[in-house]
Structure 1
């Protein structure tokens, strides 16, 4: 289990049973048989772990045993007296640590999708231990000497392209992890890594605590005017919190956003808005201000230790963008166009508000409400019209159908199987000829033990090295759970999210690489969103909607007139959507382009937004104290821009299908599979994209899709 840069999986998973007492021992790890323990030997049906046999108390001793086993494997590589070869060094390193990878994938899955106080305590302890463990490996001088020897002889090794790529990434990963530092520098870098891991875990837990701990309980009179689907979801949320017969606004986007869009009660919208935007900034033990300040200071110090001017320069060095300047060249023009468009839209919202007797400025808790009214006025289109046609099971079927038509996959549900919670669904992935390809697990509904958002991760990544292994991929969502006997209905945004995360899942399912470290989504951060964002486009292909978007009561297909309205309104309110996203991306870059960390990160956020001229009526998509992408780990730090960067790619990529007149063009689908979904990190992303499209894109397709003025034909 080798990562080209030391990092831990932050993506979440299981409903654990009560702890089983562990036999008394000064070192419980001594008695662990990793070859048979359910956390590391996955003997369940279709290769799944046996979740019924997992106990919370097993994690700590199994981790210790897995750490020790991994260290033994590393020691064996180092002790080999033979000259380093691809087999005895690079391949051995890639295959080392399999038990650790297995227990870690289960544990970090749990920490996000179904946590509890015991898991959270262990997470705070394990995060720095994992960092310490991998730091020791990446800074091991003898191990690096063997990799360095291969690197220096690479021209004479007659390597195939994929192996050459892995060797390059591995060598650079060691260097970026401190292998060339002196002993003092290595020690300090390891300390920083441990501390950052602990801070990231604490940050995420604090946000979860604020989200789980807040609800606005309402009575029937308070929800007058709300559609049935939202009232039902709010009733379920209240009942799950011990308030049967009432209704709850929660901080889950599946309830919060439709409430902010549809509730005529401005006073209640204001309360919900403040709770949502103040997550992580409420004082007390769950306040994240100090964590953010320390995180930024440590990241700045880390960059300096590794010879970079700023943390952004460090993080971007191995991405498509390469430099902070390239990122800003994308973000700044988009920001100005979006801000201008949002200003025009706000004038329209004020007009509409005044006409309906609301003589006040548009505030953050007003925008969604009046934007919904404006859409109805302009397009005779109300998003609630879509909801009855977007039944969860139908949208899942649409996801699977598109994957079948593009890539020849099918998905066989295994209703007798569950993973970490009763809500999970398990599917066996089948190739076009019916042979097994892997496993897909889906966990769709919100619960207090699950962190917010939606994500894809892998319990097991596919590769062909050694004996190889098939993928076990999962998606986690936070949709509102329906009442018993009712169907779950999605908003269009939620349906897009389902397609988005399934696009990530396909990236993991379809990978055809040999080497584990470049499997699936193991690509640069600003390329990883291409397969997911591209897949979203197929949701709104008319023939997909006509086939799968059927009314929950009548089973009638979505009327073509409604599809046409949806298409016409696709760019509506993109000033708002682009401003809220780009504000967060610019804030991320502002933090990480500094050569010194701000003493007060929250104050610096306010100063930055004022300098940028952010409209007061539009909140950032993620404010600093709950910006988990950036602070609950380093995954998207100096990298949140990557969604927009990938959007430039995905808009151009889907245009390739549109140019053929067939959204399922088989020749183009095969190229897409070969060069994007199946290729993993086997080549430079620019080379992969060019192999598919024949050229790099300009930003114009993305701007056009967002309804913003096209300004140039500049390529990325």
Structure 2
């Protein structure tokens, strides 16, 4: 018997074998297709219940199998699972396309959508109807056959171009090596970084040391290496990926991708690709994004220029550098930071024993939302490191099941993420509660020491638990709108806001005690953490804004007249330059976020979510960081609502107004706090 095809509440991890997955996927897809057929073949007139609601509740078994499988592929994988992933991913894409392009299904959805004003739907139902309709219309369901054909051609070409763009960037990254044989050239590098460079050389049967364009090699060299000429060589190689007029050049790919996206948007009735994307974001329009970026730029630029002047003066005083170049920035910033803040992670780690930090984030959630956490041992897991908890409210009602997987191992990818093994929804009068998981990679305990976290890891744990709370506290009717099923520029609010408690004395007193002595973390250390967090924030903000402006330049206007990628990029960067420009470098040709990944017209959202979380936390600070009234408003209007309403409406109901930019600017030290 295939355990994935037998109804289950908690995932039956110990019973699942790799050979169960593909048959389970095929069977669940066949069942989901039958569910779609039942909707399309229904002889009754289309209604919200028999079409939209039925569609949202279809394929639930397939969703659960997918969530189990793809989390295992990230958290406990092996070659066999990876091979299965390559086999089933195209089948799932095809299944998704079959639904989107199902004309009979769209006809029923459109019938309900066209009479929505007469249906007396709740806000949540109205949102679901809108979302389902757009999942068809935004993928060409309304187009005439010849335009559908062209849309499919564009999508096919774009998928190949994006792949080619990424392949070129990867090939350029792998092609470059800086081979050093004189140890003097490594002056300034920490011993661990030297060792890594020597190990890399040895792995390629070379003497000495190898430095590459991979981040773990590139960043430490740029930050610590004293040899300025070598930093320049490395910086120029990094900045010119895909810009050598050779077979790995990406200039033609950039132009073609931008033009195809524009044509696709026009086909679907939108002015530009940005207009198409932003329709489904909080920002709504390119005009709003430009206004947002311009306002931040106006506030950040004076601070950035002041910080840059301080860095220039410091470099001149230290090494008689007359003109600060891009390859000097990281090196002198690190030196200046060390001079201004005597802060060492090794001093902080004893106060952040992993078990204490987990207990701390639970206590914060208890004080804010009245949650009770009980570790349980009767839930099946996929690895012995995974801990499980049942979470209850103050009336002892089950809120969620929570899986915590916090240590690295061979079958687990790096990074940190939140996922869901089971969505929350209401059906037949039952509020089905979610199963949520946090996965991180923190140092394992040794024989002599427990797992001790860096401060950055503490904020990571709080961040992911913030996403977790968004899933756990979900309270919607439809699974398609539950938990983290929200706009891209809203989803980081619950995670980013929880990080703020890590800097507050009242919260740290709950858990930051020395693992040996039990002594509370000294507040002067906390103060240094806070102060160093805003170091060169003006320059960092300007850098982020420049990327957002470049993204909007490519996607928020008609790209057909552009012929020179570098000249167009320079124009987009005009208002954000601090360092002298270099002719031989170009960012666009390696800007994978927007030309290969999913950030086209969305790069601004990093800063957008920061504005939300700073403004929201200012409300907590004003009333008290554990004020239950504010916390309840945040839970009821943000955490529990998922994607049931426009996020700006939800935010305004919590805060009483739209978010203001000032709290972010104050937190970042870009303006002085008023009052």
Q: What TM-score results when the alignment is normalised by the length of structure 2?
A: 0.82
2:552 aligned partner = 589
Q: Give matches, 1:139-218, under 5 Å.
A: 139-193=101-155
Q: Structure 1 residue 476: deviation in Å?
A: 4.0
Pair 597,251 (structure 1): closer, same or farther in 2 beyond 3 Å: same
Q: Structure 1 residue 706: deviation in Å?
A: 1.7
Q: In the alignment, does 2:487 pair up with 1:545?
A: no
2:295 aligned partner = 333
1:312 aligned partner = 274
Any idea what the Cα deviations from partners look like across 1:593-632, whole Å, max 9, x if unmatched? 132379889747853564344334899xx96566565455
C-alpha distance in 1 between matches for 2:195 and 2:647: 42
Q: Give matches, 1:662-681, under 5 Å.
A: 662-681=624-643
**More divergent stretch after superposition (172-181 vs 436-445):** 436-445
User: Which of residues 353, 356, 367 is equivalent to 2:318?
Assistant: 356
Q: In the alignment, does 2:528 pair up with 1:565?
A: yes
Q: Structure 1 residue 520: deviation in Å?
A: 1.1
Equivalent pair of 2:12/2:380 in contact (CA under 8 Å): no
2:2 aligned partner = 37
Q: In the alignment, does 2:70 pair up with 1:105?
A: no
Equivalent pair of 2:408/2:442 in contact (CA under 8 Å): yes
2:52 aligned partner = 90
Pair 59,223 (structure 1): closer, same or farther in 2 beyond 3 Å: farther
Q: Structure 1 residue 326: deviation in Å?
A: 0.4
Equivalent pair of 2:274/2:552 in contact (CA under 8 Å): yes
C-alpha distance in 1 between matches for 2:103 and 2:619: 48
1:398 aligned partner = 360
Q: Structure 1 residue 293: deviation in Å?
A: 5.8
Q: Give matches, 1:426-441, under 5 Å.
A: 426-441=388-403
C-alpha distance in 2 between matches for 1:548 and 1:279: 46
**More divergent stretch after superposition (70-79 vs 558-567):** 558-567
Q: In the alignment, does 2:420 pair up with 1:455?
A: no
User: Which of residues 532, 540, 544 is equivalent to 2:495?
Assistant: 532
C-alpha distance in 1 between matches for 2:499 and 2:668: 14
C-alpha distance in 2 between matches for 1:282 and 1:109: 39
Equivalent pair of 1:350/1:362 in contact (CA under 8 Å): yes
In structure 2, the residue corresponding to 1:309 is in which secondary structure?
Answer: coil
Any idea what the Cα deviations from partners look like across 1:524-578, whole Å, max 9, x if unmatched? 2222222122112111111222332334555432211222333344422102321
Q: What TM-score results when the alignment is normalised by the length of structure 1?
A: 0.78
Q: In the alignment, does 2:484 pair up with 1:521?
A: yes
**More divergent stretch after superposition (493-502 vs 423-432):** 423-432
Equivalent pair of 1:533/1:647 in contact (CA under 8 Å): yes
C-alpha distance in 2 between matches for 1:180 and 1:604: 38
2:657 aligned partner = 695
User: Which of residues 509, 517, 527 is equivalent to 2:472?
Assistant: 509
Pair 210,528 (structure 1): closer, same or farther in 2 beyond 3 Å: farther
Q: Structure 1 residue 505: deviation in Å?
A: 1.9
Pair 395,209 (structure 1): closer, same or farther in 2 beyond 3 Å: farther
C-alpha distance in 1 between matches for 2:411 and 2:241: 16
User: Which of residues 133, 138, 142 is equivalent to 2:100?
Assistant: 138
**More divergent stretch after superposition (409-418 vs 171-180):** 409-418
**More divergent stretch after superposition (158-167 vs 483-492):** 483-492
Q: Structure 1 residue 285: deviation in Å?
A: 11
C-alpha distance in 1 between matches for 2:164 and 2:39: 35
Quote the RMSD (CA, aligned, Å): 4.6
Structure having the higher Rg:
2
User: Which of residues 451, 455, 475 is equivalent to 2:438?
Assistant: 475
Equivalent pair of 1:252/1:478 in contact (CA under 8 Å): no
2:608 aligned partner = 645
Q: Give matches, 1:365-444, under 5 Å.
A: 366-379=328-341, 381=343, 385-413=347-375, 424-444=386-406
**More divergent stretch after superposition (673-682 vs 435-444):** 435-444
C-alpha distance in 1 between matches for 2:168 and 2:459: 28
C-alpha distance in 1 between matches for 2:659 and 2:443: 38
Q: Give matches, 1:588-667, under 5 Å.
A: 588-596=551-559, 603=566, 606-607=569-570, 610-616=573-579, 629-631=593-595, 633-634=597-598, 636-660=599-623, 662-667=624-629
Equivalent pair of 2:424/2:434 in contact (CA under 8 Å): yes
Q: Structure 1 residue 171: deviation in Å?
A: 2.3
How many pairs are equivalent?
A: 667
Equivalent pair of 2:262/2:272 in contact (CA under 8 Å): yes
In structure 2, the residue corresponding to 1:440 is in which secondary structure?
Answer: strand
Pair 157,199 (structure 1): closer, same or farther in 2 beyond 3 Å: same
User: Which of residues 538, 544, 548 is equivalent to 1:575?
Assistant: 538
C-alpha distance in 2 between matches for 1:284 and 1:40: 52
C-alpha distance in 1 between matches for 2:257 and 2:79: 24
Q: Structure 1 residue 170: deviation in Å?
A: 2.0
Q: Structure 1 residue 457: deviation in Å?
A: 3.1
Equivalent pair of 2:363/2:510 in contact (CA under 8 Å): no
Equivalent pair of 1:576/1:618 in contact (CA under 8 Å): no
C-alpha distance in 2 between matches for 1:253 and 1:221: 22
1:344 aligned partner = 306
In structure 2, the residue corresponding to 1:464 is in which secondary structure?
Answer: strand
C-alpha distance in 1 between matches for 2:403 and 2:581: 36
C-alpha distance in 1 between matches for 2:387 and 2:249: 35
Equivalent pair of 2:193/2:220 in contact (CA under 8 Å): no
Any idea what the Cα deviations from partners look like across 1:211-236, whole Å, max 9, x if unmatched? 999999999999998889x7799699
C-alpha distance in 1 between matches for 2:442 and 2:631: 30
Equivalent pair of 1:510/1:673 in contact (CA under 8 Å): yes
Structure 1 gap segments, 5+ residues each:
1-35
